[in-house]
Amino acid sequence: MSKVTVAKSAGFCFGVDRAVKMVYGELEKNTNVATLGPIIHNQDVVNDMQAKGARIVDSVEELRPDETVVIRSHGVGRDIYRQIEAKGNKMLDATCPFVSRIHKIVAEKTAEGYFILIAGDRDHPEVQGIVGHCDENCLVFKDNFELKAFFEKNYKNLQKKLAIVAQTTYNIVVWGECLNVIPKDDPDIVIYDTICNATDARQSDAAELAKNSDIMLVVGGRHSSNTVKLYEVCSRFCKTYHIENADELRTLKLPNANIIGITAGASTPAYIIKEVQTKMAENEILAANQDEEIDFAQALDESFKKIHTGEKVKGTVIAVNNTEVIVDLGTKHTGYVALNDLTDDPSKKPSDIVSVGDEIDLVVIKVNDAEGTVALSKRKVDEQAGYEKIVKAQQEGTVLEGIVQNVVNKGVTLTVMGVRVFIPASLTGLPRGAELDQLLKKKVEFIVIEVSEGSRKRAVGSIKAVQNAKKEEAKARFWETAEVGKTYTGKVKSLTSFGAFVDLGGIDGMVHISELSWKRIKHPSEVVNVGDTLEVYIKDLDKEANRISLGFKKAEDNPWEIFKANYKVGDVVKATIVSITSFGAFAQIIDGVDGLIHISQIADQKVENVKDVLSVGDEVDVKIIDIDPESKRISISMRALLDDADEDEAAEEEAPAEDAE
């Protein structure tokens, strides 16, 4: 028994689907319809349209005066638009949005003086349409070999910047090979990734299926570029057959196969794919679920199902770009979900929220039958579901998270689960009068304290309540383990004239100014700043008063202890004058330890005014003459060194007389 598997992304892409639905929609109300060339490369669909009254014309000149002309999904050049306008016919533009994007790119870059390189089949209508939006400064290349030849022969003499685009159905493997040919890091070359993501997905899915299949069937028109490329992709991995419809299966001599894969081009309707799948499953168990005759007309009728504004619908994502999501609703309309109707999070892109193939719940915002489009919203559906969750969160006191989006009058707002939450300034957790802008774009935790009912689903939240709860929890944990002498790492929260408050993790302790440094300081900012991380220890605790006294300076850093360990009475040291008084001068011996040079110890003669002899900043040699450990006072003398010198000199003078005796 063979297993038959259809690739997930097989069949109509949204651009083709949109074009087909636009034609059928117009035929419902107007039989005077002409398509400029076959609307898609699928003869079965084209035949059905002709049966319903549509004509195929090859040029604008062939249009009848009363006919509505439909531009097919491949798009056309600027001259064609001008000709239609001049002729005066009503026009429906079914150009695929991805193709229109390429038209815009090449037109803008041409106007900027760029030379345009187009990867694709120069005979394909889409490529011809792209060329029609350029001037003579453009070139179509089919593969990496032609592109390499261009760079080797023409690029150096071109003296123009390059803009490179690709046909939306271009082979992604060949495109990768082309990228390897393009000079790297050339500032004059701009590359645009214009291969339709549906094409990319279709080719990738087909390749994966082919790798795991014995044979592959590629269903689609003989002239369909993307179908031919699918055939090329699948042929790399297994025996592959290209057919237009199920009838062609009779002419094939298929080998026995355990696994059969089916994929289809962008112009292949779902009913043709299903016919092929059913015929392949004949006489198999799979056929038990597929023995109903497929009626194209019935399938078409189902696609014309009416939808209305406000209606809830399900849609399957068929394309995702940077600004919107396109969905298949199973009707003649193409559904569009704009980014602001997809999510309330401004930081997210459509691809962050949905992927091709996802089925999502939506609500209809606007229906445009003339263009065959429907504006949809996922956000509104999410809002209702989110509102119910918000109500539950309020009832249960659940802590929620959200990013502050706006600063408004008297507060801030954010959106959570599709519901707008207002947080008054008094409940933001910021001090009174603080700038609310500091919360903008920040993630915050809050609880819901009030929910409004009715059509305007709004809520009021409190950040402060969560902060207070966390503080109480932190306090409880702290007091359970706190003890004098225990060390903590904390962050300086604020400074006052008398000390620094340190956050120990939800509870604050204070380092008194006298505990910040062994030196005398006038303000804590001389040692620490707000935001600094400190290692502190508990000096004292008062749980009832909720007071925590902290120490910062360490015993081993005590300058007095360092001095005692390294100096003694009688030592001669260098000292720097730091202040002058009427009774002497203070000089720094080491950092944090000063000694007093009394006025009587400055010179060996009377000094009337200290400033006549010494100035702040002077470096002098002194002798330590006294150390008082209890009062931590040090007396030093310059005069003592002079006296010592005199004694030495006197001793030298007496020495010869003694020798003479």
C-alpha 273/C-alpha 278 separation (Å) is: 9
Domain membership of residue 253 (yes or no) is: no
Domain membership of residue 502 (yes or no) is: yes
Do residues 578 and 490 share a domain? no
Mapped onto helix, strand or coil, the DSSP state of residue 172 is: helix
Do residues 373 and 386 share a domain? no
Annotated binding-site members for [4Fe-4S] cluster: 13, 96, 196
Which pLDDT score is estimated for 142? 93
Task: Give the residues across from 362 on adjacent strands.
Answer: 313
Domain stops at, among 542, 557, 572: 557
Residues 14 and 317: beta-carbon distance below 8 Å: no
User: In Å, how far are 199, 395, 600 from 604, measured between CA atoms?
Assistant: 102, 89, 8
Domain membership of residue 492 (yes or no) is: yes
Domain membership of residue 12 (yes or no) is: no
Is the pTM higher than 0.85?
Answer: no
Which residue blocks in 458-607 are alpha helix, DSSP H?
463-481, 559-566
* Number of other residues whose CB lies within 10 A of the CB of residue 33: 23
- Give residue 282's Cα distance to chain centre: 50
Domain membership of residue 112 (yes or no) is: yes
DSSP state of 254: P
C-alpha 77/C-alpha 129 separation (Å) is: 4
Annotated binding-site members for isopentenyl diphosphate: 41, 74, 124, 224-226, 267
Q: Is the dihedral of CA 389, 394, 395, 396 positive or negative?
A: positive
Closest by CA position to 257, among listed 238, 277, 244, 279: 238
Which pLDDT score is estimated for 661? 43
Do residues 398 and 453 share a domain? yes
pLDDT in tens, 123-173: 999 999 999 999 999 999 999 999 999 998 878 778 889 999 999 888 878
C-alpha 29/C-alpha 68 separation (Å) is: 11
Do residues 543 and 584 share a domain? no
517: domain CATH number is: 2.40.50.140
**How many domains does one find in the chain?**
5
Stretches where the chain sits below pLDDT 50 are 283-300, 303, 658, 660-661
Residue 614 sits in which domain range? 560-646
Which pLDDT score is estimated for 173? 80
The amino acid sitting at 250 is: R
Domain membership of residue 189 (yes or no) is: yes
Domain stops at, among 161, 195, 229: 195
Residues 21 and 102: beta-carbon distance below 8 Å: no
Which residues make Cβ contacts (< 8 Å) with residue 583, sequence separation at least 6?
598, 599
Do residues 371 and 407 share a domain? no
Do residues 398 and 312 share a domain? no
Annotated binding-site members: 13, 41, 74, 96, 124, 168, 196, 224-226, 267
Annotated binding-site members for dimethylallyl diphosphate: 41, 74, 124, 224-226, 267
142: domain CATH number is: 3.40.1010.20
Do residues 435 and 450 share a domain? yes
Which residue blocks in 281-378 are alpha helix, DSSP H?
296-303, 350-353
Residues 603 and 642: beta-carbon distance below 8 Å: yes
Do residues 568 and 523 share a domain? no
User: In Å, how far are 11, 108, 346, 411, 471 from 461, measured between CA atoms?
Assistant: 49, 48, 21, 11, 18
Do residues 553 and 581 share a domain? no
Domain stops at, among 557, 572, 606: 557
Domain membership of residue 184 (yes or no) is: yes
Domain membership of residue 619 (yes or no) is: yes
Do residues 102 and 191 share a domain? yes
Kindly tell me the number of DSSP H helices and DSSP E strands found in the chain.
17, 32
C-alpha 175/C-alpha 144 separation (Å) is: 8
Do residues 182 and 118 share a domain? yes
Do residues 566 and 550 share a domain? no
Residues forming the active site: 126
C-alpha 23/C-alpha 33 separation (Å) is: 8
